[in-house]
Structure 1
Amino acid sequence: MRLVGTLILVFNIFLRPAAQEIAVQQLTCAYAETPLGIDVPHPVLGWELWSAAKNKMQSAYELIVSNEPAAIEKGIGNVWKTGKIKSGNSIGVPYNGASLQSFTRYYWKVRVYDEKGRPSPWSVASWFETALLTPADWKAEWITDGKSLPVKDADFYQQDPMPVFRKNISVTRDIKSARLYIAGAGYFEAYLNGEKISSDLLSPAWTRFDKRILYRTYDITQQLKKGNNVAGILLGNGWYNPLPLRLWGKLNLRDYLPVGRPVVKAQYRIVYTDGTVDEISTDSNWRWKEGPVMTNSVYLGESFDARRDLTAWLKTPADSTGYPAVPVAGPEGKLEADQQPPIRIGRIIKPVAIYNTGHGKWVADMGENFAGVARIKVNASGGTKISLRYGEAVYKDGSVNGMTAVAGQIKQGNGGPGAPEVAYQEDHFIASGNGIETWNPRFTFHVFRYVEITGWPGTPTADDIEGLQMNAAIADAGAFECSNPLLNKIQENTLRTFKSNLFSVQSDCAGREKFGYGGDLFCTLESFSYNFNMHNFYQKSLKDFEDSQRPLGGITETAPFVGLDDKGPGDRSGPLGWQIGFPYLIKKLYDFYGDRHILETYYPALTRQIRFLRSRAKENLYYQDISDHESLDEKPEALTASLFYFHHVQLMATFAQLLEKKEEAEQYGTLAAQIKEAILRKFYKGNGVFDNNTPAAALFPLWYGIVEGKEKQLAEKQLDLALAKRDNHITTGIFATKMLFDVLRRADKNGQAYTIASRKDFPGWGYMIANGATTLWETWKYSDNVYSQNHPMFGSITEWFYRSLLGINSTAPGFSAFIIKPQPVHDLEAAKGFYNTLYGKIVSNWQWKDSRFTLKVTVPVNTVAAIWIPSDGEPVFIDGVKIKESSLKKEQGYRVYTTGSGTYTFRSTLKK
């Protein structure tokens, strides 16, 4: 028997390479691994493939889904069994099995068949878990403390201790699983037995609470104990109860956002090993007390009185003191599971210096600009008040300059009744006197490098204060590095800026406004997407814009809508350059992630938007827009507005075609052609000159492709002349800056792009760095009083790092087909990086030494790539073997080799 067993083992070893050439890994549901708490009936599934062999493709797949872990391990799909499906699709596969049930964990496996029809092994089982799939599943009530909102605006600024709620939970049997489903309007923090149940911050995400409210699901199985437990919930104002600050002296968010007293709805579901279930929900049986958070604002900060600490109350089951919770109707929005990555602490940053500025004030320099809060550790007598004021800069005397992050430019008493003279970012802590206390604000966030400390007992040290850098917990998707230290520093500063502006919206700045602007989104979303996995974050952004869509169909300048409509076409809709963020985001989610469902979901909203824009156009043109924001040149406003309109219609023609709406695609295509003709008649002056002949005036038409052939060449020449006139310095605003690097990349003028990007004098990214910037500024000029020093909109340059220097560009949805076309420049010796697609990691690493160019690439399984190898025409080698000329396509300055999956090293001759 032993001999037979040995023979079988040897036989299996020899069979393994053929049978297991391809493996399934990285299973996802709803674009996340093992999501806890989804509430859609047909979530999309996906997987990644791996193989050591080259040129591997998927020809079919097979899925099984079960609600029992034992069944799935036996290969039994008692909920869904697809059988063999002939398809190369490994992303965005919709679940179409039996109807999903609430509160259920589903286990699933997949196997695929390769290009020769050979099956892979079954994957390791993964799972997803449903939350509340129907409104009837909710048993909880909205509760609050019953306090009324102030009648007078000035009274909003008075102390208003936030409520802390509690409820006893008795567990008498062995627990199989326990979940908390919790929603709020305003912020919440949930506790069990005095301990916070998760590391999530600033939950729930900001939405239009009258349209949609997001809830989260938490696994509390390990935290809930047999016997007596205490559930606790602390509330904060968040975006549901903002202060009536008059931003810019006029804009009161309470006039535009759904507002009210913070409320919470929570449902605890305990499943016991005997199969029975207990549900404990928020209702009038909960008790509440005023807590230690005395004031809290997303702009002005938080005040905390540790003498009012309620930790003991949240730990003691026998304590039934407090007031009965007050059930209320709550906001009108639909409850939906939150799939956006939660906000968490990304890094802990220690100060690089702490110094005394006199008059009892200390300044902690964190060494870098970021978004978050400070955490302090102090031993002070009871009643001692410690104040923290945040700023991005310091004055010449070393004191903190908070003016670039002042809320809504409120600096001269123009914030309305009760508002501070200057709307600084500040936090305040009152010590309890009970020894060493560690504290950080819960319900606010700031942008800062420097913290001014007032009231500290003694001398603070680096052990007493630290920065908590906060952001949505997005996964990295890419990386870039090259032999030019300046470009590496630009990449570093850009990523720090991006993370500083990822909370529940992609914001313009994390201090002054904190809003989700559509124009800023348009300019940077590809840069964000190359660096981070943005699908679920941006999916929420799309819903925000749809929820804020105006009655006549226009898209708002920001989402959620806060009342801004600068140079919009009416009905409080945004300017066209900010409205374009909505359809452009849809297109890019399709391009980056192959998400066709996005097109289907938002097509009705897009149709309403285009109908509105058509009704407001004047002979197919528009004449007003914010245009190329923060340009140093005069802005070609009407030209850009009209081209934004053209882009809207062009995208609609594309969407209609993709959705096989042939008649509508033809109609939109005809309209786009008419708009193009009107633009050329109005703004083209001949000889390649558009409008005011600035770089932006050339870039917009070139980027949108409305000139071709000779006229395109003339326009490119005018762009060259305009740039030369400015000594190849960047003077464009946020849109034309993005377009500049795209236009130069398409024209294979990467040397010019590199020169512009590498400038160290004014204006440019190098100038920011030379002046101490650790993040991107809002403007090319340095500002110490008005403009933000942590602003993502000029971060579009990082897209160029990936698309030009690394050369990674998609040619099919989701990067199922792509090109790697590095565009080397003489001063650059090497560049390396990767981008993680849903199919796997694309790698592009190259070195250029003397006249030898070496390019190492990785092509994921189930994809095809065209590799553009820079070459002077001499022989090209792959993995040391000369490639036959018949296998190479000749392009100017390149040899193109098309291949399937694998890792390859190419070598060519390229003279410096």
Structure 2
Amino acid sequence: MTATDPLTINGRIQPLRVSLGQASWITRLDNPLEKETEFLNERPNIILEKEFDVSDEIEEALIAICGLGYYTLYVNGHRMGESYLNNDVTNYDKTVYYDTYDIRNFLKKGSNKLSVELANGWYNAAPITILGKYNVRKQLAVGKPCLISQLTITTAAGEKYVIESDSSWKSKPGNYLFNNLYIGEVVTDADPVADTKQKTVKIAGPSGDLTPSFIPKIKRQKQYLPAVVTHNFAHGGILIDFGTIISGHFLCDISADFLGQITFLYAEELNADGTLSFDSSISGTYGVTDEEHGINAGDPIIQKDVIKKTEQEIYRFENQYCYHSFRYVLVKSNLQTDVLEELLSNVQAYSVHTDLASVSRFHSSSDELNRLWDAARNTRLNNIHSYFEDCTRERFGYGGDIVALIDSHLYSNDMHTLLKKVFMDFVNDQTPAGGIPQTAPYVGIMTNGTSNGAGSLGWQLVFPVLAARIEQYYQDTAFVQKHLSALVKHLDYLLAFDFDYIRYCCLGDWGSVDAGIQNMRIVSPDQEFCSASMYLILLEEYKELFAAHEVSETLMETLELRIAEARNATIALFRNADGSFASGTQSSTIFALKGRLFRDVEEQRSLEAKLVQRINDDAGIFRFGIFGMSWAYTVLSDIGEDDLIYNWLSRRQEPNYLSMLANGNQTLSEYFPVKNGANTVQGSLNHAMFSSYSAWMMEKLVGISVKKDRSIQLAPYFAKDLTEIKGSLLTMQGEIEAQWEQLDDNALMYSVTLPESLDYDFRLGETFQIINKEITTAGGDRLTIRLTLQAFDAVEAIGRGNV
């Protein structure tokens, strides 16, 4: 932690001695009755400033601050912190998160100045139409960009100064003439001319409870330099190729000699003729008409920034209040391209996301596996900006995507505080009846939802799943207990529906290769059966979660009866004579297994065999959607079918993962190819919903897994064409390091280093026997266990925590 960062350590808020109790929400006085049709008009953003004197040496200075939608704090001209896109996104009508900074080192005896720059963010969302129909401005808590802050100073003599946000602050215009998360920024280097009529006024502000932020901040991460810069005559500009897709900021210097306007256009891919393709990154349409800028309501949104340069000085442009998803940047102006190229320098980009601490490492002898690991991790992080987004095209916090990816998140980064924050986002938007929305914050989507404002069943599954992982993985039972009433309310809501109604209320195994398109909409395979099964899966999740909590016996009895009813009804409606379900797709089979639609072990084994046979019949292709894909890695591994998983991840023919990375992109696509006549639906090229495989890579290739009872299992899968695997996982019990290497065709060395006190369980299966073992002290109360393994056909029994 540095003096300029918010007062958090590893994302955890520190005890505060300053609050916002006496401060007021303030903003610059502009026309308060601007209409949505005027949103795209250029107007300078808001800067609010406060000058004050301190008569003694400063002992302590803490400022609590929230600027909505986004803010940047400056103290005596110094930018505070390395974070961007402040504040934390949530439902501002329920909760408003604020930050606290220690600014003592930036203040001085005598005259001082606070300056806060505001931008629109999500609080002043544009009236654009996402996915052709959702105007998020009509659903989110929205308002004019505003500030609330309180600075508390203690001098060496013990005197206290309190500087609160109020109408005595000064207002002035900023250099951002326009800013929007989906579109981009319009910036000028001209000194803003202050309007003497501008003043600061108090306003009501959002109604949410002011709450200290407790999650890590959004920061610039990895730097990227251009891979190729070419003249693009088709577009009449300079084309910058960064070699891979980035979710983040673009930066460059513009020569002092240039005066005029430069436009930067952002895209993830090129068309076959070398022109930019915006198909994968277009989020929707503008929604309003702006004749001044030649924009019609139905025009597609293309991510772009515009710089209006008027001063003969080098101008440093860098994104501040938006982020783009791009590999290519097209630079356009009225100059010849060769001249324009000479005017740009220091071109670079940064990935930008919530600064989550890494908890794992993975490396193998296969470059392809290494790229798959990195791509999954990159794509997930690209879509985390204080909440889990699906992709940078939509930027919505879908519960279904969180369910599919939660284990891969846990095996990649420290998610404790973020999971709690996201859980509370869903609490904030829980409907009065108890339903959980499709997204949090709620943006109006409730496709196949159960009732007004509530989402489809697979997306409502996020509520108990988040609670279960917070409790299981981070041993935070107190948090779950604190929110038990919201969980009970949700279950009561689900139990209020007759099965014959609620069994339709889901999208099934979304994103499956087997999906079809009907009436311009994607339809999942066996959607009706999978939806009925999802209800059962949801209820089973609550049964397991509540088993460790004090919940009324009547509720649990009702839950048991409903589970039995739903299971019997689903079997009666969808089970075939041969024991398969619905049309027997991969999705229906794994949903049947996940929903425990079998009466005994024999029927379970029969279903498992059908799943394996179906995959083999489909040439080893995993045709699941996001739920089935995530579950398949566990289900198949548990029955000893890791070969199937490994072959799928290594598959070189489409549909496959490696094709997504073939052109150098280090991100995953939204879909495996879905055909619509002669066209292929591909969606976003920076979408994480199929990155769930990295959990299997940690649990089986590295061999480290955290089980539901919080124990550690070491159960590696030794792929025959790999010569080496190295990895580590930081758990609540300490860091575990594991590696294995081939010694010859029939022998290998497996080594694990872990805390001496850790409770663990080796599971080496039936393929190898131990021919030598060595246990040494690694220092710091850690042990290293080295096993030399020889292939054999018999079973080697290994006791718990003892080799």
Letter in 2 for 1:597: A
The one-letter code sitting in structure 2 at the alignment partner of 1:553 is: G
CA distance in 1, matches of 2:196, 2:505: 61
Give the equivalent residue in structure 1 for 2:317.
439
| SS in structure 2 at match of 1:879 | strand
Distance 1:862 1:911, change over 3 A: closer
Larger deviation, residues 404-413 vs 637-646:
404-413
Matching of residues 762-841 of structure 1 within 5 Å: 762-781=654-673, 787-811=683-707, 815=710, 817-841=711-735
Partner of 2:238: 362
CA distance in 2, matches of 1:809, 1:678: 35
Q: Is the 8 A contact 2:289 2:296 kept in 1?
A: no
Q: 1:498 aligns with which of 380, 384, 396?
A: 380
Displacement of 1:812: 5.2
Indicate the SS of the match to 1:649. helix
Partner of 1:10: none
Asked if the contact 2:29–2:198 (Cα under 8 Å) also holds between the matched residues in 1, the reply is no
Contact 1:388–1:452 (CA under 8 A) maintained in structure 2: yes
Residue 157 of structure 2 is aligned with which of 271, 274, 281?
Answer: 274
Instruction: Output one character per residue of 1:525-544: Cα deviation in whole Å (capped at 9) or x when no partner.
Output: 11011001111111111111
The one-character-per-residue Cα deviations of 1:35-59 (angstroms, maximum 9, x if unpaired) are: 77x4xxxxxxxxxxxxxxxxxxxxx
Write the distance in 2 (CA, Å) between the matches of 1:384 and 1:785. 39
Distance 1:524 1:774 in 2: 18
The aligned residue for residue 519 of structure 2 is none
Which residue of 774, 786, 802 maps to 1:879? Answer: 774
Question: What residue number does 2:800 align with?
Answer: none
TM-superposed deviation, 1:225: 2.0
Match of 2:262 among 372, 386, 390: 386
1:864 aligns with 2:751: no
Shift of 1:712: 1.4
**2:562 corresponding residue in structure 1:** 671
* 1:429 match: 307
1:431-468 per-residue CA deviation (whole Å, 9 max, x = no partner) reads 24242111212211111111111127531588432112
Root-mean-square deviation (Å) = 2.7
**CA-to-partner distance for each residue in 1:562-592, whole Å, 9 max, x for gaps?**
0000111111211001111121111111121
Of 379, 398, 412, 1:517 maps to 398
Q: CA deviation at 1:507?
A: 0.6
- In structure 1, what is the Cα distance between the partners aligned to 2:211 and 2:35? 34
Give the letter aligned to residue 756 of structure 1: W
State yes or no: 1:655 paired with 2:545.
yes
- Residue 377 (structure 1) aligns with: 253
Choose which of 187, 199, 211 in structure 1 pairs with 2:94: 211
Greater CA drift, 660-669 or 701-710: 660-669
Show the 5 A alignment for 1:78-93. none
* Mapped partners of 1:642, 1:409: distance in 2: 35
1:694 aligns with 2:588: no
Contact kept? 1:808, 1:818, Cα under 8 Å: yes
Structure 1 length-normalised TM: 0.79
Aligned to 2:742: 848
Q: Deviation per CA, 1:633-660, whole angstroms, max 9, x where unpaired?
A: 1512122222221222222222322113
How many angstroms does 1:621 deviate by?
Answer: 5.6
Structure 1 contact 877–906 (Cα < 8 Å) conserved: yes
Q: Distance in 2 between matches of 1:433 and 1:906?
A: 69
Where does 1:286-297 land on structure 2 (aligned, <5 Å)?
Answer: 286-297=169-180
SS in 1 for 2:373: helix
Which position in structure 1 is the counterpart of 2:532?
642
**Residues 411 and 422 of structure 1 are in contact (CA less than 8 Å); yes or no, is this contact kept in structure 2?**
no
- Secondary structure of the structure 2 residue equivalent to 1:652: helix
Match of 2:15 among 116, 129, 139: 129
- Which of these two proteins has the greater Rg computed from alpha carbons? 1
Distance 1:873 1:549 in 2: 51
Cα separation, 2, equivalents of 1:335 and 1:862: 42
1:348 is the counterpart of 2:223 = yes
C-alpha distance in structure 2 between counterparts of 1:371 and 1:516, whole Å:
16
Write out aligned runs for 1:226-625 (5 A): 226-308=109-191, 323-358=198-233, 360-381=236-257, 383-408=259-284, 419=297, 421-455=299-333, 458-460=340-342, 463-510=345-392, 512-619=393-500, 622-625=503-506
Residue type at the aligned position of 1:660: E
Q: Deviations over 1:71-117 (max 9, x none)?
A: xxxxxxxxxxxxxxxxxxxxxxxxxxxxxxxxxxxxxxxxxxxxxxx
**Identical-pair percentage:** 26
Which stretch shifts more, 398-407 or 410-419? 410-419
Residues 640 and 286 of structure 1: CA distance in aligned 2, closer, same or farther (over 3 Å) = same
Contact 1:191–1:231 (8 Å) recurs in 2: yes
CA 1:147–1:32: 2 relative to 1, 3 Å: closer
In the aligned structure 1, how far is the partner of 2:289 from the partner of 2:788? Answer: 66
Distance 2:636 2:174 in 1: 58
d(CA) in 2 for partners of 1:902, 1:461? 59
Q: What is the aligned partner in structure 1 of residue 3 from structure 2?
A: none
Structure 2: how far apart are the matches of 1:309 and 1:876? 77
Aligned residue in 1 for 2:69: 186
Q: 1:790 to 1:414 in 2, by over 3 A?
A: farther
> Partners in 1 of 2:298 and 2:103 — Cα distance?
42
Flag structure 2 segments of 5+ consecutive residues without an equivalent. Answer: 1-5, 516-524, 794-803
Please say if residues 185 and 213 of structure 1, whose CA atoms lie closer than 8 Å, have aligned partners that are also in contact: no
In structure 2, the partner of 1:744 is: 636
With 417-426 and 263-272 compared, the bigger mean Cα shift is at 417-426
Residue 331 (structure 1) shift: 0.8
Unaligned ranges ≥5, structure 1: 1-29, 39-127, 314-319, 882-899
Summarize deviations over 1:834-885 as a string: whole Å, max 9, x none: 111122101221123322232111232542001223565644432179xxxx
Could you list the per-position Cα deviations for residues 700-733 of structure 1 after superposition, in whole angstroms to 9, with x for gaps in the alignment? 1223433341111211221122112210012221
Report the CA distance shift for 1:784/1:362 in structure 2 as closer, same or farther (over 3 A).
farther
Q: Which residue of 2 aligns with 1:54?
A: none
Counterpart residue type for residue 585 of structure 1: L
SS in 2 for 1:405: coil
How far is the alpha carbon of 1:403 from its aligned partner? 2.3
Where in structure 2 are the equivalents of 1:145-224 lying within 5 Å? 145-224=28-107
Residues 254-290 of structure 1: per-residue CA shift (max 9 Å, x gap): 2111111111101111122222221111111100011
Deviates more, 1:871-880 or 1:187-196: 871-880
Q: What is the CA-CA distance between 1:903 and the residue it aligns to?
A: 2.1
Go from structure 1 to structure 2 and tell me whether the alpha carbon gap of 1:788 and 1:34 turns closer, same or farther (over 3 Å shift): closer
Cα distance in 2 for partners of 1:590, 1:432 equals 57
The AA in structure 1 aligned to 2:565 is: Q
- Give SS of 1:697's match: helix
Paired residue type of 2:574: F
Query: CA 1:292 to 1:879, structure 2 compared with 1: closer, same or farther past 3 Å?
Result: same
| 8 A contact 2:253–2:315 mirrored in 1 | yes
CA-CA distance at 1:353 after TM superposition: 0.8
Scaled by the length of structure 2, the TM-score of the pair is 0.90
